[in-house]
A and B are shown apart, each in its own frame.
Chain A
Amino acid sequence: MIQIQDVSKSFKGDLAVQNLNLEIKKGDILGLLGANGAGKSTTINMLLGFLKPDSGKVSINAIDTSQNAQETRKLIGYIPENVNLYPYLSGLENLDYFCKLAGLKYSKKELEDYLSTCGLANDAHHKKVSGYSKGMRQKVGIAIAYAKKAKVYLLDEPASGLDPLASNELSLLLQKLASEGATILMASHDIFRVREVCNRIGILKKGILVKELNSKDVSANELETLYLQFMQN
């Protein structure tokens, strides 16, 4: 579903991503670990079609994102670190608005179902987002992607700043989406969460994918040791 072939990207001479190769299949959750500036967000922005690679090819569902971003964006659900919704609208109104922008018109009941499926408590549906916690906003963000029937989910540091309960709920939700056939790429610093949620893990260092492994092949402690080794070398 997601294919990144020999992609490089630099900003004013500084290489952000270097000869990156990645393939994420349907139902896979790939966790991209790396320090700040490792190239995680650049990779996501290339997948979103907001950045063009200097060389190589980024494609989603075999469609080149730099050639036909409009088409690939239809398939993508994007959840940034901070899902900033419209604070004067309720969660339900936000969902309705973003769905309508995508040309989707749902009944109130359907919208409520989407929010509930994504874990937002029923009593929060009609409350203004200005009173939401970060986790609640993230759930609405996922509901927007879910209602859009996204095939690919791109998450940039989704667990950052979430309390353990909210973080756990997010993990369960992502696994549920993957089990329904979604392809998920999650960029994160959080080794333990990535180990828990993702079936595949990649470690990025200075734009280079230095290691790729299956999460079941490694324990959380081993992964931490491995990660620190790569970061220190």
Chain B
Amino acid sequence: MFQIIKNEWQFLVRSRIFLGISIAFIAIMLLSIFLGNYQTQKQEQTHQNAKNHVRQQWVSIDEMNPHSAAHYGTFIFKPTNLLSNLDEGVNSVTGNVLRVEGHVQNEIVHSEASQMQAVSRFGKLKPSLLLQYIVPLLLVFLAFNTVSNEKQSGRLKLLVLQGAKPLQIILSKTLAVWLYGVLLLIFILFVYGILNVQSLTTDILARTGLFFISYCLYYFIISGLTVFFSSRWQNATLALTSMLGIWIIWTIFLPNILMSSVEKWHKLPSRNEFQTAMKEDRSKGLDGHNPTDKRSLALKEKVLKEYGVDSVSQLPINFDGMRMQADEDYGNSVWDKHFGNNRSVLKKQKQSFQLGGIVNPFISLQNTSMGFMASDNLHHQEFLLQVENYRRVFIKMLNDKQIYGGSKTGDWGWKIDNAFFKSVPDFDYKPTEISAVISNYILDVVLLFLWTILVVALIVLGTKKLKMV
């Protein structure tokens, strides 16, 4: 087998066209990595500057009423992700900035796609674009005539006469082509690793390893299937046409058709429906700014009873803050209900879409690629959840200060000094570790393995039907 693989590589190395294409491809690849890295560094710097600026504004508040500070709020910037250099995933369309304030959970805004026409129209030139679309095409072009050429030239007979078994020949040719894809992959990961060597962590290495395995499996599927067609069909053109057809169906049509179907099966509420439903549920709760609200009055009665006093002016605490926090708590439960529902619909969509991998391994590859590079919707949702958790802690801290900080009910002019604002912690994003989310991608990896086994079975079967004469 080694001799056949070596011979295939001799052909590749000595072919000027192939070398030219490879060099051009590697140059584009390098460009995409360098540009991606440069952009990430720039974004990271902008992110840090914006984060520091906003934090500086917060810690510079000299004196302010805590509830006014809750309205003043702060901004959270989605941190750049080193891994998204390889696969941008949904990052360029999901937004980067989120305003955190009292009473309301804002949406994340300012996506790159909304600000850059080139990104919204063509996407970004990321290695994943080349690895998912162009490398498989190169593999198809390398493999489509590997066996048919041997058959047509009569060399296949010579090879078999020299003792090579047909299965050995076909498997070796598959491996030779596959190896080309794997080497490109290794090259990209190596350059990426060198450029970011100081930032590599165990989690990043584990994610990159899984990313590598997914692509290796997919490249084997593409190489094996093409070599199988090359051995089955009488001429190379038919093998090439078959594989190009499969490539178009797998990468262009099926993902779109499946995603649209999944979105219909598990429908997310429209933005308008969602906001109306939230508003409606919220209106059934307590209004923090309305002391005459029925639920506010009930809460007041409860608190007065608890403290054994007749009026809020007799309370040792600030009841306004308590009402605000009750408003928050109710708002949080409304958010949990509606966003929880959205998350569950998104989860169902993801699970259904994953099953598309049964008929299309490209779907499994895309899922694992984005997932392992922490740039899919699941990771984005994890970020939003962390932001919401921070918002709750942030607002509660301000409300608690309002309640227990020494002011009395109705004392809206009461202010707290700078030391308190400095003590409010900044948002500290904890990247989701792969061990916490790996279970979401097991199905994709399993399907890629099953496809690999299927391709091996096809090769074995195809070998048995291989006609020498």
Residues of A with Cβ closer than 8 Å to B?
Answer: 45, 48, 50-51, 70, 73-74, 76-78, 80, 82, 84-86, 88-89, 93, 97-103, 141, 144, 148
Decide yes or no whether B157 CB sits under 8 A from chain A: yes
Contact, CB under 8 Å: B162 / A51: no
Decide yes or no whether B413 CB sits under 8 A from chain A: no
Contact, CB under 8 Å: B7 / A97: yes
In the complex, the chain B residue whose C-beta lies closest to that of A97 is B7
Please, how many angstroms separate the alpha-carbon atoms of A45 and B7 in the complex? 26
Q: A50-B469, A80-B154 are in contact. Are A86 and B11 (CB under 8 A)?
A: yes
**Which chain B residues border A100 with CB–CB below 8 Å?**
3
Decide yes or no whether B197 CB sits under 8 A from chain A: no
Decide yes or no whether B200 CB sits under 8 A from chain A: no
Q: A88-B10, A88-B15, A102-B163 are in contact. Are A48 and B158 (CB under 8 A)?
A: no
Q: Could you show 6 A-B contacts with beta carbons less than 8 Å apart?
A: A50-B157, A73-B161, A85-B155, A86-B10, A93-B10, A98-B162
Chain B 160-202 interface mask (CB, 8 Å, partner A; 1/0): 1111100000000000000000000000000000000000000
Decide yes or no whether B23 CB sits under 8 A from chain A: no
**Which chain B residues border A51 with CB–CB below 8 Å?**
469
**Contacts beyond the supplied A51-B469, A86-B10, A101-B4: 19 A-B pairs with Cβ under 8 Å:** A45-B468, A45-B469, A48-B157, A78-B158, A80-B154, A80-B158, A82-B153, A88-B10, A88-B11, A88-B15, A89-B7, A93-B10, A97-B3, A99-B162, A100-B3, A101-B159, A101-B163, A102-B162, A148-B162
Decide yes or no whether B430 CB sits under 8 A from chain A: no
Please, how many angstroms separate the alpha-carbon atoms of A88 and B17 in the complex? 13
Min CB–CB distance B465 → chain A (angstroms):
14
Decide yes or no whether B14 CB sits under 8 A from chain A: yes
**Which chain A residues border B15 with CB–CB below 8 Å?**
88
**Which chain A residues border B468 with CB–CB below 8 Å?**
45, 50
**Which chain B residues border A50 with CB–CB below 8 Å?**
157, 160, 468-469
Among A50, A82, A89, A101, chain B packs the most CB atoms within 10 A around the CB of A101
Min CB–CB distance A167 → chain B (angstroms):
20
Q: A50-B469, A148-B162 are in contact. Are A89 and B154 (CB under 8 A)?
A: no
Contact of A103 among B159, B161, B163 (CB under 8 A): B163
Contact, CB under 8 Å: B160 / A84: no
In the complex, the chain B residue whose C-beta lies closest to that of A50 is B468
Q: Which residues between 10 and 68 of chain B lie within 8 Å of chain A, taking CB atoms? A: 10-11, 14-15
Among B11, B14, B15, B163, chain A packs the most CB atoms within 10 A around the CB of B163
Please, how many angstroms separate the alpha-carbon atoms of A167 and B10 in the complex? 32
Min CB–CB distance A73 → chain B (angstroms):
5
Q: A89-B10, A97-B7 are in contact. Are A84 and B162 (CB under 8 A)?
A: no
Please, how many angstroms separate the alpha-carbon atoms of A48 and B164 in the complex? 14
Contact, CB under 8 Å: B158 / A144: yes
Q: A50-B469, A148-B162 are in contact. Are A101 and B3 (CB under 8 A)?
A: yes
In the complex, the chain B residue whose C-beta lies closest to that of A77 is B161
**Which chain A residues border B163 with CB–CB below 8 Å?**
70, 73-74, 101-103
Please, how many angstroms separate the alpha-carbon atoms of A89 and B13 in the complex? 11
In the complex, the chain B residue whose C-beta lies closest to that of A79 is B158
**Which chain B residues border A48 with CB–CB below 8 Å?**
157, 161
Contact, CB under 8 Å: B155 / A84: yes
**Which chain A residues border B153 with CB–CB below 8 Å?**
82, 84
Please, how many angstroms separate the alpha-carbon atoms of A148 and B468 in the complex? 21
**Which chain A residues border B164 with CB–CB below 8 Å?**
101
Contact, CB under 8 Å: A78 / B469: no
Q: Which residues between 254 and 294 of chain B lie within 8 Å of chain A, taking CB atoms? A: none
Among B3, B15, B158, B469, chain A packs the most CB atoms within 10 A around the CB of B158
Contact, CB under 8 Å: A84 / B154: yes
Please, how many angstroms separate the alpha-carbon atoms of A51 and B15 in the complex? 35
**Which chain A residues border B154 with CB–CB below 8 Å?**
80, 82, 84
Contact, CB under 8 Å: A88 / B157: no
In the complex, the chain B residue whose C-beta lies closest to that of A84 is B153
In the complex, the chain A residue whose C-beta lies closest to that of B169 is A101
In the complex, the chain A residue whose C-beta lies closest to that of B150 is A84
Please, how many angstroms separate the alpha-carbon atoms of A93 and B11 in the complex? 12
Contact, CB under 8 Å: A86 / B7: yes
Min CB–CB distance B218 → chain A (angstroms):
29
**Which chain A residues border B469 with CB–CB below 8 Å?**
45, 50-51
Min CB–CB distance A129 → chain B (angstroms):
12
Min CB–CB distance B19 → chain A (angstroms):
12
Min CB–CB distance A85 → chain B (angstroms):
8
Q: A98-B162, A102-B162, A148-B162 are in contact. Are A78 and B157 (CB under 8 A)?
A: yes
Please, how many angstroms separate the alpha-carbon atoms of A51 and B468 in the complex? 9
Among all A-B residue pairs, the 5 with the closest Cβ atoms = A84-B153, A101-B162, A50-B468, A102-B162, A88-B14
Please, how many angstroms separate the alpha-carbon atoms of A86 and B4 in the complex? 12
Please, how many angstroms separate the alpha-carbon atoms of A153 and B250 in the complex? 49
In the complex, the chain A residue whose C-beta lies closest to that of B11 is A88
Please, how many angstroms separate the alpha-carbon atoms of A192 and B311 in the complex? 129
**Which chain A residues border B4 with CB–CB below 8 Å?**
101
In the complex, the chain B residue whose C-beta lies closest to that of A73 is B161
Please, how many angstroms separate the alpha-carbon atoms of A51 and B469 in the complex? 8
**Which chain B residues border A101 with CB–CB below 8 Å?**
3-4, 159, 162-164
Min CB–CB distance B2 → chain A (angstroms):
9
**Which chain A residues border B155 with CB–CB below 8 Å?**
84-86
Min CB–CB distance B15 → chain A (angstroms):
7
**Which chain B residues border A78 with CB–CB below 8 Å?**
157-158, 161
Min CB–CB distance A126 → chain B (angstroms):
14
